[in-house]
Amino acid sequence: MKNLLGQINTPSRVVVFAFMAVVLIGTGLLSLPIAIEGERASLTSALFTATSAVCVTGLAVHDTASHWSVFGELVILVLMQVGGFGIMTLSSILALIVSGKLGLRARLNTQAETKTLGPGDVRQVITGVAKVALVAETLTAAVLTVRFVTGYGEPVGRALYYGVFHAVSAFTNAGFALWPDGLMRFVTDPWICLPLALAVVAGGLGFPVYAVLRENWRRPKRWSLHTKITLGMTAILLAGGTLAITGIEWNNPGTLGPLSPGLRIMAGFFHTTMTRSGGLNSVDISQMNENSWLVSDMLMFIGAGSASTGGGIKVTTFALLGFVIMAELRGEPDVSAGRRRIPEHLQRQALTIALLSVAFIALGTFVMMMVTPFKLDRVLFEVISAFATVGLSTGITADVGTAGHLVLTALMFVGRLGPVTLGAALALHAQTRRFRYPEERPLVG
């Protein structure tokens, strides 16, 4: 444990302190009178909003458009961009540090599998992440701007502002919107919903996937196992989630019921996409069935891809646990996927991250149940949304009180940085031992 803490305090503490510094700067800026339109925000409110923006979550105590001034909105925009770009860059750099700490054979195997850059190529990582973000956000902003001008009669300047803000919010998986009802007014508009959904998916894949696709996008056989798992699980979760949400909400008059069949499917797909950490909403989540909340809880917990702007335990972690279960059920001695054997230390890392995440969510839910008057289903949804940095809510965020806001703030920060820093620490902590204890098998099950 002492050695593990030492690893956490080595490269990972740079990540934690960097994000903490940005959060504090954002809190200070949002506390200024110039940042608010009306009554001055409390320090807790400013801290909550800054943490939500930097950790690209999207939960909000106040309506973004009416409470914050243009200056405040620009601060939130910058914090979203810094948080999204920072987490992609720092996650990729931590991967380089991890590969550099491994032995020569393990390092070559890691680079061959992940197609990541070699140790020391930090500049290339930063440049690559910046290019991906710039292209995705520019294309999304362009489509949205044109639509706001042609479809809603917005002036070019305001349309451009709306387009850029929501493009950044979508790609960084931040989930902030400039309307009180989120994007509910656009639930029937595919030119708004689909570009934003695609931007969320793009931001949730992760730079290592783009590095592979850039070299071998026409040759899937050469894709790394990480890329295959990320793309495959993304497709499965999007398809399965859309089918489940659309089916459950099909006749719900408060959500999908009033829409045409095609628009119901689009709205179901949009909501499913946003549970990957997008956080924007085109329907009233508070009116959803409890079964839909449960499906959303599961999708939010799994999250998006590693080294991406998305949160959750990550699709690769979830997939690895699935491979472990399948191998155990089949009685196979090794865990394999795609004709590749999964190292035991990666299996333990996946299990550790998943179980610790469950523990944090359980603890957060327990505390929130003590300090708020809301029922378990709504509280659990809120806690998972905060820890997985999703930003969706059943409508209770503003009413959980100061204690609840502080709990959610802590969950957002830990959920955003915890899996990243813990994964790096566990990898750096890997070591060999020259002896083994005698084996004994306790009863299981």
pLDDT of residue 265: 97
Rounded Cα–Cα distance for residues 253 and 179 (Å) = 22
Taking a C-beta distance cutoff of 8 angstroms, is the pair 20, 442 a contact? no
In a domain, 95, yes or no: yes
Alpha helices, H only, 340-400? 344-371, 376-387
Residues 6+ apart with CB under 8 A from 421: 8, 12, 15, 16, 94
pTM of this structure: 0.88
pLDDT of residue 238: 97
Residues 6+ apart with CB under 8 A from 383: 361, 364, 365, 368, 408, 411
Indicate the range of 61-75, 92-106, 284-298 predicted with least confidence: 92-106
Q: Which residue has the higher pLDDT, 62 or 194?
A: 194
Q: Which residue has the higher pLDDT, 108 or 15?
A: 15
pLDDT of residue 108: 36
- The pLDDT > 90 percentage for the chain reads 59
pLDDT of residue 214: 84
Reply yes or no on whether the pLDDT at 109 is more than 60. Answer: no
User: What tokens appear for 321 in the block?
Assistant: 């646990």
pLDDT of residue 120: 44
Indicate the range of 135-149, 267-281, 426-440 predicted with least confidence: 426-440
pLDDT of residue 103: 42
In a domain, 443, yes or no: no
pLDDT of residue 308: 83
Q: What is the mean predicted confidence (pLDDT) over 20-26?
A: 92
- The pLDDT > 70 percentage for the chain reads 82
Indicate the range of 104-118, 360-374, 377-391 predicted with least confidence: 104-118
What is the number of structural domains in the chain? 1
Reply yes or no on whether the pLDDT at 39 is more than 50. Answer: yes
Question: Which tens digits make up the pLDDT trace of 193-242?
Answer: 999 999 999 999 988 888 888 888 888 888 888 899 999 999 999 999 99
Quote the radius of gyration of the chain (alpha carbons, Å). 22
pLDDT of residue 101: 43
pLDDT of residue 291: 96
Least Cα distance to 229 among 124, 336, 107 occurs for 336
Q: Which residue has the higher pLDDT, 333 or 299?
A: 299
Q: Which residue has the higher pLDDT, 67 or 124?
A: 67
Q: What is the mean predicted confidence (pLDDT) over 82-107?
A: 58
pLDDT of residue 161: 96
Reply yes or no on whether the pLDDT at 115 is more than 70. Answer: no
Q: Which residue has the higher pLDDT, 310 or 137?
A: 137
In a domain, 9, yes or no: yes
Q: Which domain holds residue 340?
A: 2-429
Indicate the range of 37-46, 120-129, 354-363, 389-398 predicted with least confidence: 120-129
In a domain, 442, yes or no: no
Question: Which tens digits make up the pLDDT trace of 385-440?
Answer: 999 999 999 999 999 999 999 999 999 998 887 665 655 555 555 555 666 678 77
Least Cα distance to 194 among 166, 236, 233, 220 occurs for 166
User: What tokens appear for 425 in the block?
Assistant: 């620490």
User: What tokens appear for 32 in the block?
Assistant: 């200024």
How high does pLDDT run on average in the chain? Answer: 85
pLDDT of residue 90: 64
Question: Which tens digits make up the pLDDT trace of 354-368?
Answer: 998 999 999 999 999
In a domain, 438, yes or no: no
In a domain, 425, yes or no: yes
Helix, strand, or coil here: 337? strand
In a domain, 441, yes or no: no
Q: Which residue has the higher pLDDT, 123 or 412?
A: 412
pLDDT of residue 128: 78
Q: What is the mean predicted confidence (pLDDT) over 78-98?
A: 71
Q: What is the mean predicted confidence (pLDDT) over 59-78?
A: 92
pLDDT of residue 79: 93
Q: Which residue has the higher pLDDT, 339 or 260?
A: 260
Q: Which residue has the higher pLDDT, 190 or 223?
A: 190
Alpha helices, H only, 250-343? 261-273, 290-302, 315-330
pLDDT of residue 156: 96
The letter for the amino acid at 186 is: F
In a domain, 34, yes or no: yes
Rounded Cα–Cα distance for residues 209 and 327 (Å) = 26
**Residue with tokens 């309506």, as numbered in its chain:** 63
Q: What is the mean predicted confidence (pLDDT) over 340-346?
A: 86
283: confidence class by pLDDT, cuts 50, 70, 90: very high
Q: What is the mean predicted confidence (pLDDT) over 179-204?
A: 95
87: confidence class by pLDDT, cuts 50, 70, 90: confident
**Inter-CA distances, 265 with 140, 268, 306, Å:** 21, 5, 28
pLDDT of residue 388: 93
